[in-house]
Copies of this chain bind each other. A is one copy, B any other.
Amino acid sequence: MSSAAAAAAPEPRPVRFGILGCATIARKVARAMLLAPDATVAAVGSRSEEKARLFAADNGLIPAADDGLRLRLHGTYEALLDDPGVDAVYLPLPTSLHVRWAAAAAARGKHVLLEKPAALCAADLDAVLAACDAAGVQFMDATMLMHHPRTAKMREVVHDKDAFGDVKLINSVFTFRANEDFLQNDIRVKPDLDALGALGDIGWYCIRVILLAVDYELPKTVIALRDPVKNRAGVLLACGATMYWADGKTATFNCSFLTNLTMDITLVGTNGTLRVTDFNIPYQERSAEFTVASKSNFAELGIGCGPLPSKHVVTNDLPQEALMVQEFARLVQNIRDTGSKPEGKWPAITRKTQVVMDAVKASIDKGSEPVEVVS
């Protein structure tokens, strides 16, 4: 940036978000928008204005947004997309609706923060990404853990070739015990809304952290674990897969709606071992931990071993979802206010996650046959 441009740059205006759909997860992200600097909730769109109003009232949006911008309530998704006072859309609709509404948002020149899973398949995602690309808007999926400073710190540890060596083995588990109401009524068990079920909802995170651990190098082959659990409508309630890389790395993940809340990732490298037990949603909002053991060995005679894993504690000023909103808003401001291009890293990471998820789904559909991952 030239010094003239720097001198001319005004205090950046906040990014005006429109929330498209009032899903439960939108409550968390709405709160994040209130917490994040450079972001404001400008509008809420739902299937009725009344729903939008209730959501806004329930989530503290009306007073908080009443800072000269005034929150607007829209009774249709279209109306929100037509709102000229909206820079960016946060889209927490059921996955089956993503391709339509995310592409429509991009076509209206709105930046797109899209809930995960990004799409039902890579072809759908590609339609969204093409629309974003054509419109020059930023795309990012709402995988919050990506923005936690713990995640960055873990990557730093794993990249230490002396202390950690080369990652060879990854295990990830994300399960939670859904109650009967969830298993009967939640959108995540409905074939027309979230057909990927547990794979899309939580397997997504396992795939993402696995890719993160290997610097987004795609596995060559994916083989689903056998005996996935499906509901009567065929939606996945529990499944898993093993991924194989060309250089011999392997990763296994399990996701399930049927067992106790567990969010583990274990990375084993040639020289080190890293473990997290709350990788997706830290136990605490402002502080998160992981442990690392490096160059571990048996003691003399194999009596005891060490060193004990050392604990790393990472604090964060804002919760990870607010850091996500902040990062997205920063990119949008750059585009809107200084003519920058969209950051290509985010759609690329989303697409890799989707491509692996597609391969897992294909392997499940083929009775756990190996499926080659096509980038």
Please report A residues at the B interface, Cβ cutoff 8 Å. 24-25, 27-28, 31, 165, 168-169, 171, 173, 175-177, 221, 223, 225-227, 229, 238, 240, 242, 244, 248, 250, 252, 254, 256, 258-264, 266, 268-273, 275, 277-278, 281-285, 293-298, 301-306, 308-309, 319, 321, 370
Tell me whether A177 and B28 are in contact in the complex, defined as CB-CB below 8 angstroms, given that A171-B252, A250-B254, A281-B302 are known contacts.
no
Cβ–Cβ contact A176 & B273, under 8 A: no
CB-nearest residue of chain B to A240: B250
Complex Cα distance, B299 from A27, in Å, reads: 13
Cβ–Cβ contact A301 & B27, under 8 A: yes
Cβ–Cβ contact B240 & A227, under 8 A: no
Residue in B27, B171, B263, B298 whose CB lies within 8 Å of A281: B298
Cβ–Cβ contact B227 & A169, under 8 A: no
CB-nearest residue of chain B to A166: B259
Interface of A is mostly: strand
Give A5 Cβ to nearest chain B Cβ, in Å: 39
Cβ–Cβ contact B252 & A229, under 8 A: no
What are the residues of chain B within 8 A of A175 when measuring CB–CB? 169, 268
CB-nearest residue of chain B to A302: B28
Q: Identify 5 residue pairs between A and B in the complex whose beta-carbon atoms are under 8 Å apart, listed by A's number.
A: A25-B302, A28-B301, A175-B268, A260-B294, A283-B308
Cβ–Cβ contact A176 & B298, under 8 A: yes
Give A2 Cβ to nearest chain B Cβ, in Å: 42
Cβ–Cβ contact B277 & A268, under 8 A: no
Give A262 Cβ to nearest chain B Cβ, in Å: 5
Copies of this chain, count? 2
Residue in B165, B258, B268, B293 whose CB lies within 8 Å of A270: B258
What are the residues of chain B within 8 A of A165 when measuring CB–CB? 259-260
Give A107 Cβ to nearest chain B Cβ, in Å: 31
CB-nearest residue of chain B to A242: B225
Give A24 Cβ to nearest chain B Cβ, in Å: 8
Cβ–Cβ contact A168 & B278, under 8 A: no
What are the residues of chain B within 8 A of A168 when measuring CB–CB? 238, 256, 258-259
Cβ–Cβ contact B275 & A303, under 8 A: no
Cβ–Cβ contact A244 & B259, under 8 A: no
Complex Cα distance, B260 from A230, in Å, reads: 37
Residue in B223, B258, B262, B295 whose CB lies within 8 Å of A260: B295
Complex Cα distance, B165 from A177, in Å, reads: 11
Residue in B244, B296, B302 whose CB lies within 8 Å of A262: B296
Cβ–Cβ contact B226 & A244, under 8 A: yes
Complex Cα distance, B367 from A370, in Å, reads: 12
